[in-house]
Amino acid sequence: MSSLDVQMPHAKSGNWFRSGETTGASGDTRSQMRRFKLSTMDKVGNRLNKLQAHLGSESELLVAPNNTSAVAVEATPGSIWNGVPQAPPDPILGVSEAFKADKDGSKMNLGVGAYRTEEGKPLVLNSVRAAERQMVADMSLNKEYLGIGGNPNFCKLSRELILGADCAAVREGRVSTVQSLSGTGALRIAAEFLGTFYKGAAVYLPNPTWGNHKKIFPNGGVAVKSYRYYNPATRGLDFQGLCEDLCAAPAGSIILLHACAHNPTGVDPTHEQWAEILKVVKAKQLLPLFDSAYQGFASGDLDRDAQAVRMFVNAGLEVIICQSYAKNMGLYGERIGALSFVVADAGVAKKVYSQMQQVIRPMYSNPPMHGAAIVERILSNKENYEAWKLEVKGMADRIISMRTALHSALQKLGTPGNWDHILNQIGMFTFTGLNSAQVTNMTKKHHVYMTQDGRISMAGVTAAKAQYLAAAIDDSVRNC
């Protein structure tokens, strides 16, 4: 094909033909068609070139400026997106990808915080199965759109689960709740709402925190700062640092608090320390935002794990709460959670609700119904609810027993260092204290997958593998 040969679609058939080929059309018509096609291609070519210049790509132009040769497209195959840089793997979910690709038989995935059975398998709770069976049999259910704020009964049950049905704020209609795409979605809606109606305030995150917090808030228009939380020397709470940093935060700042089972450290304030934190938050007029992703996983008791949140709400503060049912109902992939604003009066609650809808509508219109229907059936049916409570306790207890198993296996090996924090830390994770080189050794040599900060999900440990895990830690500590 010469450089003057241009491929154009046949005007009637839409087939591509070369400019020199006969189409059956008269010479005049052909040249008109050709002029039309070239001018169209001119426009397309110019747009592509502008786009490429905008993207700053150094590769050849996709279409020559004079448009004499669309052949350039054939000669330099490429993509508009050539300049898009490769993103790094996600620090948590990327670990699961690497785990899947590993063919070693002894591999363990302790990266993602997801519950596993004693056989190391994902678990669907019996209470969830029961709810789903009831749903299948319920012919009154349909697949219509939910409202923008989600399933209203699910929302009511969710705020009651975290605050207690007898909570004054609930009774007085001062809590606005929307259904969200799990805990992440609740945080994202909250962030955008705050970025719109609470402009200028930064959110203070504990150091360290769940990595996604640092991305969610800026995406919603909220700047991120941090407050001291964990003291590596004691492997415990840096309570003094925490109080100093909260005191130093400008009045009105948003303070993100993990409601229980802090991720990644497994270190929670005591009841007395929570009371002190409440005093500071009140005195400094800070806005508390609770991330409650592990209700039930800290103590095995749903009410006990909600104590910190309830303490703040019952003290009369305005509070934001993000809930997730990923862990405590094992509904990870259903993406079901809730966002609640506890506010000073019922009139304000209504307005806040209307604006949460404004955030949601252009983002995903309205939420999916299946997960909400499962939660609704568990929380509103006494039999299902009692069964679920036992299952939550069972999961928490198995995790605690894995702490004992790992700790005693390390003691047997005489692994250098003090490992009592494995017993003392709370919830799904142990913040082992392994450094980055040791973590790399755990993965590369022993096929134990964990996050680079040294966090392991205790929910992924089994009695059969505790020994193997201890040996891998022992080797990493001694040799790296």
Pairing of strands 230-231, 236-237: antiparallel
Closest Cα partner for 217 from 187, 244, 257? 187
Q: Write down the least CB distance from residue 469 to ligand PGU, Å.
A: 17
Cβ closer to ligand PGU: 324 or 415? 324
Applying CB under 6 A, among 99, 210, 227, 388 the residue interacting with ligand PGU is 210
From 156, 245, 327, 419, active-site residue: 327
For the beta sheet containing 254-258, the strands, ordered from the edge strand earlier in sequence to the opposite edge, are 175-181, 336-342, 319-324, 287-292, 254-258, 203-207, 224-228
User: Does residue 382 have an active-site annotation?
Assistant: no
User: Does residue 291 have an active-site annotation?
Assistant: yes
Q: Write down the least CB distance from residue 391 to ligand PGU, Å.
A: 18
CB 116 within 8 A of CB 459: yes
**Measuring CA to CA, how many Å separate 62 from each of 2, 9, 36, 67?**
18, 19, 20, 10
Residues present in the chain in total? 480
Per-position x/- string for 212-251, each x denoting binding to ligand PGU as judged by CB under 6 A, each - no binding: x---------------------------------------
Cβ closer to ligand PGU: 332 or 419? 332
**Measuring CA to CA, how many Å separate 106 from each of 409, 422, 445, 471?**
17, 22, 11, 13
Q: Write down the least CB distance from residue 322 to ligand PGU, Å.
A: 7
- What phi-psi label fits residue 379: left (phi over 0), alpha (psi between -120 and 50 degrees) or beta? alpha
Mention every residue, 6+ apart, whose C-beta is less than 8 A from residue 376.
151, 153, 154, 157
Per-position x/- string for 330-369, each x denoting binding to ligand PGU as judged by CB under 6 A, each - no binding: --x----x--------------------------------
- Under rule CB under 6 A, residue 258 binds ligand PGU: yes
Cβ closer to ligand PGU: 113 or 288? 113
Q: What is the radius of gyration, based on Cα positions, of the chain?
A: 29
> What's the one-letter identity of residue 441?
N
- Under rule CB under 6 A, residue 62 binds ligand PGU: no
Cβ closer to ligand PGU: 8 or 359? 359
From 291, 305, 388, 389, active-site residue: 291
In whole angstroms, what is the distance from residue 106 CA to residue 477 CA? 20
Q: Write down the least CB distance from residue 476 to ligand PGU, Å.
A: 21
In whole angstroms, what is the distance from residue 72 CA to residue 61 CA? 8
CB 191 within 8 A of CB 170: no
Q: Write down the least CB distance from residue 376 to ligand PGU, Å.
A: 17
Interface residues for ligand PGU in 76-115 (CB under 6 A)?
92-93, 112-113
Instruction: Please state the φ and ψ torsions of residue 27, each to the nearest 5 degrees.
Output: -55, -45
Per-position x/- string for 178-207, each x denoting binding to ligand PGU as judged by CB under 6 A, each - no binding: ----xxx-----------------------
- Under rule CB under 6 A, residue 131 binds ligand PGU: no
- Other beta carbons within 10 angstroms of residue 315's beta carbon come to 13
From 156, 210, 245, 389, active-site residue: 210
- Under rule CB under 6 A, residue 263 binds ligand PGU: yes
12 token code pair:
């009637």
- In three-state secondary structure terms, 369 is coil
Q: Write down the least CB distance from residue 47 to ligand PGU, Å.
A: 39
User: Does residue 42 have an active-site annotation?
Assistant: no
In whole angstroms, what is the distance from residue 35 CA to residue 475 CA? 74
Torsion of CA 187, 176, 303, 301, to 10 degrees: -40
Q: Write down the least CB distance from residue 210 to ligand PGU, Å.
A: 4
Alpha-helical regions (H) of 56-203: 71-75, 93-101, 126-137, 152-163, 168-171, 182-197
Pairing of strands 236-237, 254-258: unpaired
Q: Write down the least CB distance from residue 293 to ligand PGU, Å.
A: 4
Applying CB under 6 A, among 326, 352, 406, 448 the residue interacting with ligand PGU is 326
Cβ closer to ligand PGU: 8 or 426? 426
Region near ligand PGU per CB under 6 A, out of 64-72, 166-174, 324-332, 373-381: 324-332
Per-position x/- string for 146-185, each x denoting binding to ligand PGU as judged by CB under 6 A, each - no binding: ------------------------------------xxx-
Q: Write down the least CB distance from residue 307 to ligand PGU, Å.
A: 17
Applying CB under 6 A, among 177, 324, 432, 462 the residue interacting with ligand PGU is 324
Closest Cα partner for 131 from 308, 322, 326, 331? 331
Count the residues of the shown chain that bind ligand PGU, applying the rule CB under 6 A.
Answer: 17
Applying CB under 6 A, among 291, 334, 376, 391 the residue interacting with ligand PGU is 291
Give the active site residues.
210, 291, 327
Residues of this chain that bind ligand PGU (CB under 6 A): 92-93, 112-113, 182-184, 210, 212, 258, 263, 291, 293, 324, 326, 332, 337
